[in-house]
Structure 1
Amino acid sequence: MNFRLDLNVIDVQQNESRFALVLHNLSETNIEHWQLTFSVSRFVLPTSVSHGTLKQVGSLCTFESGQPLNANDHLYVEFSHRTKPFSLHDEGIADACLLVTTSTGVQAIPVETTTINLGAQSPEREPLSLPEPKDINLIPQPKAMVVKSGHFAIADDCAIASDDEDAKSAALWLSEELSDHLRRDISVKQEGQIRLKKDESLAPSKYRLSVSLNAIVITASDKNGFSYGVATLLQLLPVHASHRHYAGFAIPCVEIEDHPRFGYRGMMLDCARHFHPLRRVKDLINQLARLKFNHFHWHLTDDEGWRIQIDAYPELTEIGAWRGPFETIEPQYTSLSKIHGGFYTKDDIRDVIAYAALRGITVIPEIDIPGHCRAAIKSLPHLLVEEADTSVYRSIQNFTDNILNPGIEGTYTFLETVFDEVCELFPSPFIHVGADEVPDNVWTESPSCQALMKEKGYADSKDLQGHLLRHVEKHLEAKGRKMLGWEEVVFGDKVSKNTLVFTWVNEQSGLDCIRNGYDIVLQPGQETYLDMAQDFSADEPGTDWAAKIPLEKAYHYEPFSHSDTTQNDFEKVKGIQCALWCEMTNTQSRFEYMIFPRLFAIAEVCWSAKEQRDWADFQARLSGQLQYLDRLGINYRR
C-alpha cells in the first residue's frame, strides 16, 4: 500500500490515555485535498486533537488537517481517550482509509494499519494445553452413564427406525449427520438397528440411550428428549473409521440416562455489526445442537445494519443493510474503503428456522428497540425523525442519532408493522426487543416527548422507554408471543412481570430483577461474552471491557456462587445464554476462534449440575472433542 498509519500510546493515566497517530505517504505523489478515516472502539475527545479536526460517528473517526500530505512525508497527530489503559492490540485502529478529492471526484484509498504500540510489555500467550482424550468424551457430561464391554458396529445396511411423530425430526437429523460422517446413506425406515422409542413415563427433555452389541435405542417422551439423545449418540461416534481398510465405525456399548439442568440454554449471535453468511449461521446452529443448546438468539438489527427483510419497508434492506464510504450509513469497524453488508430474505430465514427445528433449536429473533436503531432511522427518516427534536446525547457506541422517538406516531406505525411481519415469519413463542443502552439526555428537547410526559405524568426518559415497550408488549401479547428483553427492558416499571429478562451487566442486576418479580436468563458479560479475549497476552484477539475470559474461567461459571440467594430466587433463573458480539468478528476464521472451545465449557455449565462438573475431567473430554473440530477444519483457539 502507498499509505501507512501507526498508533502509539505516549501517556497513560488511570482513566485517560494519550496517543500519537502517524500517517505516512509512501508514494511519490503529493495529496492535496484529503480526509483520513479510521476506526477505533473508544471515544476520541474532540478538544484533545492536535494539528487538525476530528469528527466521530460510532467507531468511524474522520480527521482533516487542512494541509497537503506530501510524497514520502508524514503527518503527526495526538489525541486522547478518556478510558482505562489499553491492554490488547485489538483496541488499536481496526482499519483506515483516505478519502482523496480530485477533479474527477472522491476516491477511497485503503491505508495499511500497523499493530498499536502499547508502550508496555504484556504476558506471553498461553497456548491451550490438554491431556490425552478419554475413551468416551461426552460434552456436556451426562447425568448417569454406565460403560459396558463391546461395541456396536455400524453395518452397511444400518438404518434408523422411529415409532412416533415426536421422534421424526431427531431421526432425520441423525440420518443427515450419520450419512455425512460415514460418507454413505443411513436412512430412516420402518425397521432398523438404531431405534427411537417413545416412553410417556419419562419427564420432558429426559432421555435414555442404550448401545448394545446389536442395537442402539434412544427413549424419550418428547421431541426435546429425542434431540438430546441423538446429540449424545453423535458424540459417541468415532471421529475416524476404526479400521483403515474400510469405513468401519464402532460405537461403545453404554447405558446413559440424562436430563438438562436448565430449561433455557442459548447462544446469541450478532449479525448486525458484521453480516454472517447463511452457511456460517447454519453450521453454528448444528454445533449448538450437538452440545444440547436449545435456543438460538438471532440479533438481526442494530445501529450498524438491518439484516431482516421487511416487505412493508424495503428501504430497511435497500439502505439499512449496507454501509460504506459513499453510502447513507457510514463504514464502521472494518472495510472502511468499500461496501459491507447483506441481509436475510424471508426464504433465508425460513430455511434457518427449519434447519434449527430439525435439531431441536428454537430461533428467537431480536429487533433491538428503542436504542440501537440508527440503521432503521437512516432508512426511514420520513417516518422516524421528529425534525423539531434538538436533544443532544451520545450512546455508549458513540452515536448521536440512534434512538426511536416514543412521542411520534410514526414510531408506533413502524414497530407494529415490523413486529407483525416478524411474528408471521418466526414460529417462536418468544420475540426479543433488546431495550438496552438508551443514553442519558435523550428526548429532553423533543416537543412530542415532552408533551407525552406531561400528559401521562411521567418523570424521566425511563418512563418514556417503558411507555413504548409496554405498547410493544401488548401488541406481541395479542399475537400470542412473549416479550424478551435485556435488563433495561424493566426501566420505567411499565412492562409486565411476564417479560423474560436477559441480564448482561452483571449478576447483581439479575438478582435485582428476580427480587422485582421477573424471571431471568443469565448472560453476564464477565462470564459468557465470547467476544471477550481468551488470554492476557496483548496479541489475543478480542476485547476486555467486561473481563478477559479464558477457557477455565468460562467453565467454572456457577450462577450466583458469590451472592446470597434463596431457592426461590434460583427458581426464577430459567437458564444461561452466551453471546458473540461481532464488532470485530468479520471472517470465518475469527468467528470460529472466538467461539471454540469456550462453547463446550458453557454447554456443560448450562446442562450439567455443579456436582457433576470437574475441570480436569472436562479437559480430557475436550481433547477428544477437538479431534472432531479438526476433522471439520474449524479454527478453534489452540
Structure 2
Amino acid sequence: MNLSKHYGKLLAAPLSLLLFGLIACQGKVSENQYSVIPQPNELHPVSGNFRFDNSTVFHVSSALDKTCSSMIDSLIRQIEITSGYRMKAEIVEDNEAMPQNGITFSLNKNIAPEGYELTIDPNDVSVQASDRSGIFYAIQTLKQLMPTAIYGKQAVADAQWTLPCVEIKDAPRFGYRGVMIDVARHFFPKEEMKRVIDLMALHKLNNLHWHLSDDQGWRIEIKKYPKLTEIGSIRNKTMIRKEWDNYDTTPYGGFFTQEEIKEIVKYADERCINVIPEIDLPGHMMAALAAYPNLGCTGGPYEVSGQWGVRDDVLCPGKEETFTFIEGVLTEVMELFPSKLIHIGGDECPKVRWEKCPHCQARIKKEGLKANQKHSAEFFLQSYVTARVEKFLNDHGRQIIGWDEILEGELAPNATVMSWRGMDGGIEAARLHHPVIMTPNTYVYLDYYPTLNTQDEPLAIGGYNPIEKVYSLDPVPSALNEDERAYIIGAQGNLWAEYILSSDHLEYMLLPRLAALSEVQWTQTGNKNWDRFLGSLDHIISVYNEMGVNYGKHIYEISATYDVPSTDGTVMVTLSTQGDAPIYYTLDGNEPSEQSQLYKEPIQIKENSTLQAMVKRENMKTRIFKKEFRFNKATGKLPTLNSAPTEKYTFAGASILTDGLRGDFNYSTGYWMGFMNEPMDITIDLGTPTTVSSVKIGTMIQVGEWIFPPTKITVWTAGKDNNFLKQGETEIPLATADIKDGLIEYSCLFKETEANKIRILIDTTSAIPDWHGARNEKAHMFIDEVIVE
C-alpha cells in the first residue's frame, strides 16, 4: 500500500470482523477520552466525536514528502486491520476543498519543529505540521485517542471507532529526548531493539543512544578489525549475581552485523528516531584489548571481562597505532550511522597504567601536558585523546558527545556533555556554553530498582528510582541563568544491562517509567501534573497490554510508610495505592483475601507480626505486600539523633533504626540509614526501667561501593537521673582485603543492668584501608536496625 501510487483508489479490500472476548479496557474508549502521554502542551476539549466508517477518506497534501505518506499509509493499514473498515486515501492540492468525513494531513511552516496542530470535530479531522516529525507525533496522538485496539493485530468487534473532538497545539519542550540501551553487558537481538524503538515512538522520544562496546563485550561488526567480534564479542565467564569471585563459565556473546545495524537504523528513522552509537573510549576497552592487545599499555594478555565495574587496563594513547585503530573504527561507524552526534564515552578511565607507561609519559612530554591543582598530567592526556578524536569526527561533519568525565582536564571545543553523576557536570558545561543532556543517575537510571520491595524484584544494580522520582525531574537547574539554560538541550533515561538478562526484563525496567520520562522531555513544566499523569496511566497501560510488552505494576501495588511516633513501643504503618482501590490486610500470617480486614486507617504494630496486604483491582492482579516486624526492647521507641546522618541517606529519619524492619542488600530502599562524616550517635528512651545486657546492630558491607563495617560500638545507660554510665565497648577490626560483601550483625555485650535510657555510639571507618582503590577516602556505614536485649 503506497499513497504515491494508490491515491484516489481504495487501499484495501474489506476485512471481516473477528469476534472474540476482550477485557473492557482493551476494546472500549476509556472514560478519560483525552488520556495522552506525553501530555500535549495545549489541549481544548470539544463536545462530540468523529466516527470512522467505510466512507472515511484520508486527504494527504501533495506538499508533504513521501516519508509522510508512508507514515499515513501505516496508520490506515492499522485502522483497517483492527477495525474491519476499508479506507480511501487521496493526494490533494493545498487549495482543494476537503469533503466531509475526512482526515486531512497538510503542511504548515508556521508550526514549530516537531510540533503539530490537531483539530477534531464531528465531520473532519485536520492534522498540520511543519515537518515529518510533527506529522508522525500527530499520528501518535491520534492513535492514543482511538480505542486501544489500534495497537493490536486483529479486528475487534466491540471497539468504538471514534475520536473525541478536541483542539490540540503541541510541540516538545526539548529537541533531544533520549533513552540509552546497553547491549554490551547483555546482548539484545535485532527484534528486541525494534520493540524498544516502537516504545520510544509511542512516547515521542527521538534519540536512541546505543551503547555498543564495553569491557564485557564488543557488539558491532567492524570489517577492518574482524577480531573485535571474533574475540571481543565473547566473554568466557560472567559473574553470578553480585558474587564478585564466583562465575558462570558458560561463554556469552553476540553482536550486530553491519546489515542488521543498517536495518535497525532505517527502522528507527521511519519512526523519526535518530540512533547515536557509542564506542566507549579510552576506558572500558577490555573487549577491544583482548582482540588487539598491542593497543594496551602492557601488551596483555587481556581477556573480555567477566566482571562488572571498572578495569585498570585501557587504550594506550602514547601509541600512534591506537589512533589509527580509533579512526578506523569510527570511519565504519560513521558509514553505518547518519547521526550528527557520535558518543565516545570518556567515562571511568583509570590513569594507573598511563602513570607507568613509557609511551604515555613520552606523549605527555611531547604535547607539553602539565598537571594543575585539580588534575594530574594524565587527566590532560585523556583530554588530548578526546580533542584529537573530536577533530577527526568534526573533519567528517560529525560532533562528539561524552559522559561528564570529559569535563576533567580540558573540555574539547565542540563537545556535548551528558551529565550522569547528578547535574553538577551539566551545570558546569552549560556555564562553559556547551550543549548538555541531563541524565542524572538519581532520577533517570532505569537499571535502578523501581520499587522499595526489592526482595520480590529481579536483581538490579541497586538504587531506587520509582516512577514518581523519574517524573519529578526538571532537566533545567534553577542554578543556571536564562542564557545558560538555553544550553540544556534535553534529557535521557539510561538502562545499563549488567543484571538485565532477558528482553522481558528489559521492558519491565523501561515501563511504565518511560511514560514518566516522556513528560519530562516533552511537556512544558507548567503542564506537568502528577495526578493528571496518574489518571492517564491506566490508558497507556492498556496500550502496553495490546502491544504485548512486559511492564511493572508497582504504581498499582501497595506502598507503605512506617513511623515510630513516640516511645510507647508502637510502629505505625500507613498503606496506600493508586486510586481508590480497596486494601485488605492480615497480621496473623495468613494470606489476605476480600474477607480479611479492610484497611481504613494506619495500622498499629506492637508485637512480632507479619503484615500482609492485597489490593483489589478489576482486570489486574498485583503482588501481595508482605513485611515482617520483629520486636526487641528498642522497637517502637523513637531515638534521638545526636549526630547527623548523610543527608542523602537519612530517608524517614531516626525511626528507621527502631521500626522492627530489616533491610536487604540495597542501601537506597529507605530501610537503611547512612553515615560518613560522623559516627552514629543515638539515645533511646526506653520509657520505663528496663533490664538490658546487649546491643546488636545490623550493617551492610559492599566494599566496591565504599561501604565498610563499623570500627567500634560503645554503650552507655542512664536511670531516671539521666546520669549516663559506660556499660560496654566492642572493638571491630579494620576490614582486610579478604572481607566478603554481605549483611553482618555486630554486638556489644555487657553486664545486665536496669536502664531508662540507652546511648549507642557506632564509629565509622574513618579512612578506607590501603588495599582498596579508594584508599584514605572516607567510608560509608549503613545501619538498618538497633536491637536492644
Mark yes or no: TM-score above 0.5. Answer: yes
Query: What residue in structure 1 maps to residue 185 of structure 2?
Result: 273
1:516 to 432, 445, 460: 432
Do the aligned residues in 2 keep the contact of 1:170 with 1:359 (CA within 8 Å)? no
Structure 1 counterpart SS, 2:135: helix
User: CA 1:164/1:371 → structure 2, altered by over 3 Å: closer, same or farther?
Assistant: farther
Which secondary structure state, in structure 2, belongs to the residue aligned with residue 444 of structure 1? helix
Query: Shift in Å at residue 173 of structure 1?
Result: 3.0
TM-score normalized by structure 2? 0.60
1:17 — aligned with what? none
- Given that residues 452 and 464 in structure 2 are in contact (C-alpha distance below 8 angstroms), is that contact kept between their aligned partners in structure 1? yes
Partner of 2:499: 584
Change beyond 3 A, Cα 1:375–1:331: farther
Matched, 1:193 2:134: no
Once the two structures are superposed, residues 192-223 of structure 1 have per-residue CA deviations (whole angstroms, 9 ceiling, x without a partner) of 93322001222222210122223322101112
Aligned 8 A contact 1:206 1:220 in 2: yes
Query: What's the TM-score once normalised by structure 1's chain length?
Result: 0.73
SS of 1:442 mapped into structure 2: helix
Distance, in Å, in 1 between the alignment partners of 2:405 and 2:102 is 52
The more displaced of 412-421 and 313-322 is 313-322
- Trace 1:269-418 onto structure 2 (pairs within 5 A): 269-325=181-237, 336-382=248-294, 384-387=295-298, 397-400=308-311, 402-418=313-329
Deviation by residue 1:326-365 (Cα, 9 ceiling, x = unmatched): xxxx667699242322111111111111111111111111
The 8 Å contact of residues 210 and 217 in structure 1, kept in 2 or not, is answered as yes
**Cα distance in 2 for residues equivalent to 1:406 and 1:616:** 52
Partner of 1:532: 448
Mapping of residues 119-518 of structure 1, within 5 Å: 134-156=32-54, 158=56, 160-164=58-62, 166-180=64-78, 182-183=80-81, 189-190=90-91, 193-240=102-149, 245=157, 249-325=161-237, 336-382=248-294, 384-387=295-298, 397-400=308-311, 402-459=313-370, 460-496=377-413, 498-518=414-434
Shift of 1:402: 3.8
User: What is the alpha-carbon distance in structure 2 between the residues aligned to residue 439 and residue 251 of structure 1?
Assistant: 57
- Partners in 2 of 1:431 and 1:559 — Cα distance? 22
Whether the 8 Å CA contact 1:162–1:168 is kept in 2: the answer is no
Compared CA separation, residues 240 and 224, structure 1 to 2 (3 A): closer
Q: Tell me if structure 2 keeps the 8 A contact 1:151–1:212.
A: yes
Opposite residue 362 of structure 2, the aligned amino acid is A
Matches of 2:315 and 2:534 in 1, distance apart? 47
Task: Check 1:245–1:483 CA distance in 2 against 1; reply closer, same or farther (3 A cut).
Answer: closer
Give CA-to-partner distance per residue, 1:137-179, whole Å, 9 cap, x none.
1011111112222222232464544325655334423433553
Q: RMSD of the alignment, in Å?
A: 2.8
Cα displacement (A) at 1:389: 8.9
2:525 to 610, 617, 622: 610
Cα drift, residue 248 of structure 1: 5.1
Q: Tell me how many residue pairs correspond in the alignment.
A: 497
Instruction: Give 1:380 deviation, angstroms.
Output: 1.4
Q: Tell me what 1:35 maps to.
A: none
Q: 1:481 to 1:455 in 2, by over 3 A?
A: same
Residue identity opposite 1:272 in structure 2: A
2:110–2:130 Cα contact (<8 Å) kept: yes
Sequence identity (%): 34
Matches of 2:283 and 2:67 in 1, distance apart? 38
Secondary structure of the structure 2 residue equivalent to 1:240: helix
User: Where does residue 27 of structure 2 map in the other structure?
Assistant: none
> Match for 1:443: what amino acid?
W
2: CA distance between counterparts of 1:399 and 1:145? 48
Structure 1: which amino acid aligns with 2:358?
P
What is the alpha-carbon distance in structure 2 between the residues aligned to residue 453 and residue 188 of structure 1?
66
1:436: Cα distance to partner? Answer: 0.5
Instruction: Report if the CA contact (8 A) 1:555-1:601 is conserved.
Output: yes
Amino acid at match of 1:468: V
Alignment of 1:42-53 (within 5 A): none
Question: Cα gap change, 1:520/1:164 in structure 2, threshold over 3 Å: closer, same or farther?
Answer: farther
SS, match of residue 308 in structure 1: coil
CA distance in 2, matches of 1:534, 1:455: 50
**Once the 2 structures are TM-superposed, how far is the Cα of residue 472 of structure 1 from its aligned partner?**
0.6
2:501 partner amino acid: N
1:420, distance to aligned residue in structure 2 (A): 0.6
Distance 1:635 1:439 in 2: 38
SS in 2 for 1:208: strand
Contact 2:313 2:353 in 1 (8 A): no
- SS of structure 1 residue aligned to 2:538: helix
Distance in 2 (CA, whole Å) between partners of 1:244 and 1:501 is 47
Select between 602-611 and 164-173 the one with higher mean Cα deviation: 164-173
Which amino acid is 1:451 matched to?
Answer: A
Give unpaired runs (5+ residues) of structure 1. 1-131
Do 1:305 and 1:321's aligned partners in 2 also have CA atoms closer than 8 Å?
yes
2:729 is matched with which residue?
none
C-alpha deviation, 1:516, in angstroms = 2.6
CA contact (8 A) 1:146 1:254 kept: yes
Distance in 2 (alpha carbons) for counterparts of 1:602 and 1:527: 10
Task: Assess if the C-alpha contact under 8 Å between 1:218 and 1:226 holds in 2.
Answer: yes
Q: Quote the offset at 1:289 in angstroms.
A: 1.3
Aligned partner of 2:511 in structure 1 is: 596
SS of residue in 2 equivalent to 1:190: strand
- CA change 1:566–1:386 in 2 (3 A) is closer
Q: 1:619 deviation in Å?
A: 0.2
CA distance in 1, matches of 2:383, 2:537: 44
- In the superposition, relative to structure 1, how do residues 509 and 542 fare at CA in structure 2: closer, same or farther (>3 Å)? farther
Report if aligned partners of 2:175, 2:490 keep a CA contact under 8 Å in 1.
Answer: yes
- Change over 3 Å in CA distance of 1:610–1:480 after alignment to 2: same
1:565 and 1:387 map into 2 onto residues whose CA distance is 44
Counterpart-to-counterpart distance in 2, 1:351 and 1:542: 32
CA distance in 2, matches of 1:396, 1:455: 36
1:259 Cα deviation (Å)? Answer: 0.8
SS at match of 2:348: coil
Contact 1:162 1:190 in 2 (8 A): yes
Q: Is the 8 A contact 2:239 2:306 kept in 1?
A: no
- CA displacement at 1:447 relative to structure 2: 0.7
Distance 1:612 1:494, change over 3 A: closer
SS at match of 1:535: coil
Contact 1:532 1:542 in 2 (8 A): no
CA distance in structure 1 between the aligned counterparts of 2:264 and 2:88, rounded to whole angstroms: 23
Higher relative contact order (CA 8 A, sep 6+): 1
Corresponding position of 2:551: 636
Unaligned runs of 5+ in 2: 1-29, 93-100, 371-376, 554-789
Question: Aligned to 2:39, what secondary structure does the other structure show?
Answer: coil
Structure 2 Cα separation of the partners of residues 602 and 588 of structure 1: 20
